[in-house]
Amino acid sequence: MRPWSSIPIVENHELLVALPAVLLRLEPHPYASLGAPYGPDHDPFRLRSGVVDRLVQAQRRLAEQDPTLRFAIFDAWRPIAVQAFMVEHTIATLCAEQGISRDDPSQQSAVQAVIQDVARFWAAPSRDASTPPPHSTGAAVDLTLASLDGDRPLDMGGAIDAIGAISEPDYYASASTASERLFHQRRLLLLKVMESVGFQQHPNEWWHFSHGDQLWAWRSGSPSAIYAEAPIKSVTA
């Protein structure tokens, strides 16, 4: 259970809509490229209509702060089947990198440690309507900053989806080198413009922001969330 799991959801029934062309998509989509089961015509670059509006507003605020920058969208809507696929993929990848066999009884404590590490970043693919994964609601977006000159993503001091402390928003808050201070400044800029239009940041991920889901409600003090799992039938062009 997450700190926000008990917050009630009062669904407002906004549709999922495609991100407008003004928002840069990082393609090919990373999870689709791995074979994640989106299904036909289930474009991951979609969010609830109100979230899209706020995201466009945030990009305008970013341009006011630094006209050489724009957003680069890494991931947006994520069906629960994709969430399940990616959780399993991440666990398997980390076990392989660490030389851990999930079938070896003597390594089960190491396997559990990996699963716990992954759970700090990847929400469980819950089918319980009261605890949907944030991305399945169409309320959450993973994004970074990019240069308008060639649409190149900036170095933020850690890759999106990296498992570990380096992904925490304030990881570089006490940095001593110029490059690390720059990473912190960039993360702060992203936070500032997203918060200015009502988004809330995941406590463990510098790249993850949401508006309207349970995580947002928990961080903003709202008594309820406004988005449950987005039904496939709500997808519109």
* Residue 168 designated active-site: no
- The secondary structure of residue 204, as a DSSP letter, is T
**CB burial class (10 A; 0-12, 13-18, 19+) of residue 220?**
middle
- Nearest CA among 14, 19, 5 for reference residue 74: 19
* DSSP SS3 for 97: helix
Q: Give the whole-angstrom CA distance, residue 108 versus residue 116.
A: 12
- The secondary structure of residue 9, as a DSSP letter, is B
Peptide bond connecting 28 to the previous residue in cis, omega within 30 degrees of 0: yes
In our burial notation (b when 16+ CB lie closer than 10 A, e otherwise), range 89-102 reads bbbeebbeeeebee
Q: Give the whole-angstrom CA distance, residue 25 versus residue 121.
A: 22
Give me the catalytic one of 11, 64, 205, 229: 205
Cβ contact 68:52 at 8 Å: no
Name the residues annotated as catalytic: 205
